[in-house]
């Protein structure tokens, strides 16, 4: 009997090694086939607006506060806010020459460093704890994203007020006559309003003072601040400052907190089982704590933008390693702090909605919100809204209906929420998928198409999202409706209505939109 058991163990060990060798060889041959068939990754495309884009990772110390008393099994406080990390995307002057090319990188790597931390984080999200398999996640990330950079110049100076008004509303450069008039007026000390600066205000371009509107963006579950770089960079290229929050609420794969004294701590993706609680924390309780933490980070982001606009940029210590800070001083008097819009995707969209409970207010001077695929598994939706909102659904999000917290079908809940707002739009980009607003379909288009089943080209989908978002941001400043914002309702009940009542309207780039809710005229 003992001899038989020994033979079984030996056979099992041999079989295990054979299976590992077989699958390992198959995996290796698969990647050889992939590389030989088509390029694995595609560079990110240029931004869609008329301006060049500056990019800067910033981490600053904030007043320490405990958002939730939840404690991890490691003994650490899970929701202690002590530093804020954001990625800034902002317009810079056309044809900007780098002044420090010896030490300053021209582009930011798309993947944050270290890649091993991000790989391990995604493995943890997938429930994989075996180190060799976690290393496989790191390898895949390296293969898919290590060569990708975010277009833009690191630490470029923010767009000058003169550069802003030299761009007309169509994205073209103003004529030489206007340029010479502005130069002469500056030499004579005259206000730009006297040479037509005010004229451009009526056309939807920030005029006289040249101040720039702001957007605070909050990423989705398992996302990162740079996961939406093309969407956010393109918005910035239209003359808008975007601050993408790197959330430390345990929703991302991993993030390193850097303290002023040189110490650091890694925040990993969190699940209810990671907490020291009796009974075990529920998913709903975790979501409440995370969304509250996100709201606090958004508030701190707006506070940071206010400090930059007040001229405190040269006093800010950037805690993010190897990240410069010279451009921050140039943000003085360049931001329109009365035009701050909050935006988010998925979990971030639900969080963006939550911040509207306290807006507009002195601490939350928010004038509007953009939500991409809010709700479903990311928690209940705030209905206390008193400012204009724009809600996008991907085709996938609209078609796959679920019961939403006993309130009915998710689509109907979102529709009624938007209808209850005085000024709100709700529309679906048909043929798109939940990740269509992220960079992933741009970098690995054929893989994402295979996984999501989307029928809309990734570049077209993102261009449509960008176009309507920029039109909405312009509407918030000047009240002018353009593009999709001028459409009537084409599909009042979406997937819950009759097929013949689901009509579409063409977007600027040829995609089909279903429009479900528009403001009352």
Band of pLDDT at residue 146, cut at 50, 70 and 90: confident
Query: Given 346, 378, 458, 469, which residue is catalytic?
Result: 346
| Secondary structure letter of residue 422 according to DSSP | S
CA–CA distance, 287 with 354 (Å, rounded to integer)? 12
Note the CATH number of domain 52-517.
3.40.50.1820
CA–CA distance, 224 with 219 (Å, rounded to integer)? 6
pLDDT in tens, 57-96: 999 999 999 999 999 999 999 999 999 999 999 999 855 4
412 catalytic, yes or no? no
CA–CA distance, 108 with 105 (Å, rounded to integer)? 7
Query: Given 155, 181, 274, 373, which residue is catalytic?
Result: 373
Q: For residue 502, what are its two tokens?
A: 């689901």
Q: For residue 36, what are its two tokens?
A: 């030989």
| Secondary structure letter of residue 57 according to DSSP | E
* Residues 245, 85 contacting (CB under 8 angstroms): yes
From residue 426, give the alpha-carbon distance in Å to each of 250, 342, 429.
30, 16, 10
Q: What ranges do the domains of the chain cover?
A: 52-517
CA–CA distance, 44 with 42 (Å, rounded to integer)? 6
51 catalytic, yes or no? no
237 catalytic, yes or no? no
pLDDT in tens, 329-360: 999 999 999 989 999 999 999 999 999 998 89
pLDDT in tens, 347-397: 999 999 999 998 899 889 999 999 999 999 999 999 999 999 999 999 999
Dump the DSSP string for 336-400.
EEEEEEEEEETHHHHHHHHHGGG-SSSS--EEEEEEES--GGG--------S-EEEEEEHHHHHS
Query: Given 219, 247, 269, 434, which residue is catalytic?
Result: 434
């Amino acid at each position: 009997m003992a001899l038989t058991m020994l033979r079984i163990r030996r056979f099992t060990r041999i079989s295990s090694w054979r299976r590992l060798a077989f699958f390992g060889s198959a995996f290796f041959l698969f990647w050889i086939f992939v590389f030989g068939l088509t390029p694995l990754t595609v560079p990110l495309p240029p931004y869609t607006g008329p301006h060049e884009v500056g990019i800067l990772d910033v981490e600053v110390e904030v007043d320490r506060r405990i958002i939730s008393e939840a404690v991890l099994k490691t003994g650490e406080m899970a929701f202690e806010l002590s530093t804020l990390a954001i990625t800034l995307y902002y317009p810079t002057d056309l044809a900007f020459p780098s002044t420090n090319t010896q030490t300053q990188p021209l582009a930011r790597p798309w993947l944050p460093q270290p890649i091993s931390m991000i790989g391990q984080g995604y493995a943890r999200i997938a429930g994989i704890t075996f180190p060799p398999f976690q290393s496989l996640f790191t390898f895949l990330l390296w293969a898919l994203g290590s060569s990708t950079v975010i277009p833009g110049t690191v630490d470029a100076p923010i767009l000058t007020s003169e550069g802003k008004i030299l761009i007309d509303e169509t994205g073209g450069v103003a004529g030489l006559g206007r340029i010479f008039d502005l130069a002469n007026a500056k030499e004579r000390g005259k206000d730009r309003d006297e040479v037509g600066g005010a004229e451009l205000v009526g056309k939807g371009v920030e005029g006289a003072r040249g101040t720039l509107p702001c957007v605070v963006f909050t990423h989705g579950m398992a996302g990162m601040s740079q996961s939406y770089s093309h969407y956010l960079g393109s918005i910035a290229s239209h003359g808008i400052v975007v601050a993408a929050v790197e959330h430390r609420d345990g929703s991302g794969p991993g993030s390193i907190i850097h303290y002023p004294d040189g110490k650091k701590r890694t925040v990993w993706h969190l699940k209810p089982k990671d907490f020291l609680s009796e009974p075990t924390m529920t998913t709903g309780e975790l979501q409440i704590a995370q969304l509250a933490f996100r709201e606090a980070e958004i508030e701190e982001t707006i506070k940071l933008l206010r400090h930059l606009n007040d001229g405190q940029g040269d006093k800010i210590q950037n805690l993010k390693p190897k990240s410069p800070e010279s451009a921050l001083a140039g943000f003085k008097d360049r931001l329109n702090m009365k035009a701050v819009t909050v935006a988010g995707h998925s979990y971030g969209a639900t969080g963006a909605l939550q911040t509207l409970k306290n807006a507009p207010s002195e601490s939350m001077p928010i004038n509007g919100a953009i939500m991409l695929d809010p709700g479903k598994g990311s928690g209940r939706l705030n209905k206390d809204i008193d400012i204009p909102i724009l809600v996008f659904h991907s085709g996938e999000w609209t078609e796959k209906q679920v019961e939403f917290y006993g309130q009915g079908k998710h689509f109907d809940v979102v529709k009624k929420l938007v209808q209850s707002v005085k000024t709100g739009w709700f529309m679906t980009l048909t043929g798109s998928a939940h990740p269509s607003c992220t960079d992933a379909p741009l970098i690995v288009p054929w893989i994402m198409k295979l996984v999501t089943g989307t029928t809309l080209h990734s570049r077209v989908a993102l261009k449509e999202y960008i176009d309507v978002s920029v039109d909405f941001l312009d509407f918030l400043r000047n009240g002018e409706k353009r593009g999709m914002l001028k459409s009537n309702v084409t599909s009042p009940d979406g997937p819950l209505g009759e097929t013949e009542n689901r009509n579409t309207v063409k977007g600027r780039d040829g995609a089909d939109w279903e429009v479900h809710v528009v403001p009352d005229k």
